[in-house]
Amino acid sequence: MNLIETKNLTKYYSRGKVIGIKDLNLEIEEGEIFGFIGPNGAGKSTTIRLLLDLIRPSSGSGQVFGLDINQKSVQIRRGIGFLPGEIFLQENMTGQECVDFYSGFKEKIDKNYLKVLLRRFELNLSKRVSAYSKGNKQKLAIVLALMHKPKLLILDEPTSGLDPINQQEFYNTILETKKWGTTTFFSTHILTEAEKICDRVGIIKSGKLLKIENIEDFKEKNIRTIFVETKESIPLSALKSAGLKKIGRTTNGYKFVTAGPNGEIIKALAKFNITDFKITEPSLEEIFLHFYK
Amino acid sequence: MFTIIKQKLKEQRNSVAVYIASLVGYTFLMISMFPSMKKMDIDALISSYPEDFAKFFGDSGMASFGTIEGFLSMEFFSLFFILITSFYIGSAAGSAIAGQIEKRTMDFNLSQPISRTKLVLAEAITALFYSSLITVFVSSFTYLFCILFDVAISAKGIANFTVIATLLIWALYGIGLFLSSILKSKIGVMLLTVAFTLGSYVFLSLTRLVEKLQNLDMYSIFYLYDPEKLLRNTGFEYYQIYVLLGVFALGLAGSLIVFNRKDV
């Protein structure tokens, strides 16, 4: 069963002058973790806000749990845990007051699970929201989204502001929710995050869904940026190997955008006097330029 | 919905307590002054003022300054009490929709299983409750202080005043709530609500001064509110209740229609 389904969902802003999303056709299966990847302004948050009925579509339709997103939005939201892209809570409330307040909207809160979450994220609920750092606000919002064990999690850039340890706790928590059948739809611009936990990913750019891929196919692309430091001049013909998408100069050496296994390029580079190299995730702009058009 | 009402009651409790304490304090000051003012033959002094000056303050003019009803009406209830309460009402209305969108707390609140209508109604119920409480406290203490200072005032008159003053404040809240659905700033809503209140009062006063405007007095919301007559227990007309409730209901309905169609 598809938990989320959209048909030609479209949203324009500024009286049609700015595209939010255009003709989005999406099907999210029950129980999967779906990552929605795209740069800033791609339409990720617009999609999420449309699903939650915070904004209304210009055309097209959407269903969550088989219910229309505009006509049955209250019923839909009973089964959802939502994490917004930026966390704005009542500043004069304490963390505990926030938990009590938002618990009042839920049918049932698993108090034991709530304690587990608070322990896992090391969150002190006695402080006022105004006293929380960005990371702690994010953790509080994650707890609020998860505490009622929703059927569907909709998360907008969920690890923003979290340190690496808490990021890992978050990934573990989401994988845990999958075990009891929760579906997760989350937006991100971090590839490695999607690679860690997603079953499928959707690539979105400028309001258009470019592709949906299984995570294994996505991982196989192994899109990486390699920075090489060298004082030598490397003849580029020596580096023409399968998967090399882009070559550029840096102040200290070269930058390569690659896809697939990097064994051949490492072997080719070993022939030269390389002082340092670094492998990182490329920017989304580079990914879209070379792999998704 | 009750979750929101409970939270809002708690949130606004302290500020409402300050409003009540301040207004009750001012009531005490006014009533305590009245016996001395009465001895000073204010009426003779006022009758020496230009006629238009008296007209500005309505049918009762300033001739009844020597009665507690006229005195309280002139010094407190005609404008000051309503204006001060309009700050609370404007702020509450501004927070209901515009403020939440401005502070972006609306996203998280609307992601909960509650309709936009119930969200606004919860805010409205809180504001109506507290604004009624302010009026009831001020009216009750007016009566008590009159007893304390041995000033005769009609209990029924106080009750009439409480009803109409409350409905006037509710009507102003309805207007504020509608403004909140169309504006983007809480402070803007509050200022416009207060400005409307003051503007309506000034407009009514001008209709008494300017001959060309005389037939337009019914277009001011203060036309329906004459505190001196109410306190004298001359009663009120049912149409006052219907019109004031109607303004509130229209404002509320308008705000719901706009907010339910709005992108947050």
Contact A82 B111 (CB under 8 A): yes
A56, A86, A105 member nearest B112 (Cβ): A105
pLDDT grade for B41, boundaries at 50, 70 and 90: low
Q: Is the pLDDT of residue B92 over 60?
A: yes
Give the C-alpha separation, A56 to A271, whole Å. 59
A52 contacts in chain B (CB < 8 Å): 110-111
Size of interface A-B (CB pairs under 8 A): 56
Q: What is the CATH number assigned to the segment(s) A2-219?
A: 3.40.50.300
Tens-place pLDDT, residues B17-37: 999 999 999 999 999 988 887
Average pLDDT over residues A127-142: 93
Q: In what order do the strands lie in the sheet containing A244-249?
A: A244-249, A253-258, A224-230, A274-280
Nearest chain B residue to A85, by CA: B107
A75, A84, A101 member nearest B107 (Cβ): A84
How far CA A171 is from CA of A121, A135, A243, B37, in Å, comes to 12, 15, 30, 75
Average pLDDT over residues A107-130: 92
Q: H or E element: which one contains B94?
A: helix B80-94
Tokens linked to A239 = 């580096």
pLDDT grade for B110, boundaries at 50, 70 and 90: very high
pLDDT at A108: 86
A185: left (phi over 0), alpha (psi -120 to 50) or beta: beta
Q: Is the pLDDT of residue A142 over 70?
A: yes
How far CA A273 is from CA of A100, A246, A258, A276, B120, in Å, comes to 62, 21, 21, 9, 69
Among A217, A107, A97, A197, CA closest to A151: A107
Tens-place pLDDT, residues A145-195: 999 999 999 999 998 888 889 899 999 999 999 998 999 999 998 888 888
In the stretch 189-248 of chain A, residues with CB closer than 8 A to chain B read none
Nearest chain B residue to A71, by CA: B115
B150 and chain A: CB distance < 8 Å anywhere?
Answer: no
ipTM surpasses cut 0.90: no
What CATH number does domain A222-291 carry, 3.40.50, 1.10.287, 3.30.70, 1.10.3470? 3.30.70
Tens-place pLDDT, residues A211-223: 898 988 877 777 7
pLDDT grade for B90, boundaries at 50, 70 and 90: very high
Tens-place pLDDT, residues B237-250: 899 999 999 999 99
**Averaged confidence pLDDT in chain A:** 89
Average pLDDT over residues A17-21: 93
B6, B103, B107 member nearest A54 (Cβ): B107
pLDDT at A292: 67
Nearest chain B residue to A144, by CA: B108
CB neighbours (10 Å) of residue B172? 27
A75, A101, A106 member nearest B7 (Cβ): A101
Contact B264 A82 (CB under 8 A): no
pLDDT at B48: 67
**Averaged confidence pLDDT in chain B:** 90
Q: Is the pLDDT of residue A11 over 70?
A: yes
Cβ-based neighbours of A87, under 8 Å, separated by 6 or more:
A134, A137, A138, A140, A141, B108
In chain A, ranges of CATH 3.30.70 domains: 222-291
pLDDT grade for B65, boundaries at 50, 70 and 90: confident
Which of B111, B186, B258 would you mutate first to test chain A, the one with the most A CBs within 10 A? B111
A74 and chain B: CB distance < 8 Å anywhere?
Answer: yes
Per the structure, the complete domain to which residue B120 belongs is given by: 2-261
Average pLDDT over residues B83-95: 96
Q: Is the pLDDT of residue A143 over 60?
A: yes
Contact A74 B115 (CB under 8 A): yes
A71 and chain B: CB distance < 8 Å anywhere?
Answer: no
Cβ atoms of residues B241 and B221 within 8 Å: no
Q: Is the pLDDT of residue B47 over 80?
A: no
Q: Is the pLDDT of residue A242 over 70?
A: no
In chain A, ranges of CATH 3.40.50.300 domains: 2-219
Chain A: give the shortest CA distance to residue B7, in Å.
7
A55, A74, A84 member nearest B114 (Cβ): A74
Tens-place pLDDT, residues B141-191: 999 999 999 999 999 999 999 999 999 999 999 999 999 999 999 999 999
H-type alpha helices, chain A? 44-51, 73-78, 95-103, 111-120, 134-146, 164-179, 191-197, 215-221, 263-269, 284-291
Give the C-alpha separation, A30 to A32, whole Å. 6
- Percent pLDDT > 90 in chain B is 73
How many domains does chain B contain in total? 1
pLDDT grade for A81, boundaries at 50, 70 and 90: very high
Tens-place pLDDT, residues B191-201: 999 999 999 99
Q: Is the pLDDT of residue B57 over 60?
A: no
Contact B105 A56 (CB under 8 A): no
pLDDT grade for A1, boundaries at 50, 70 and 90: confident
Q: Is the pLDDT of residue A207 over 80?
A: yes
A84 contacts in chain B (CB < 8 Å): 107-108, 111
pLDDT at A259: 80
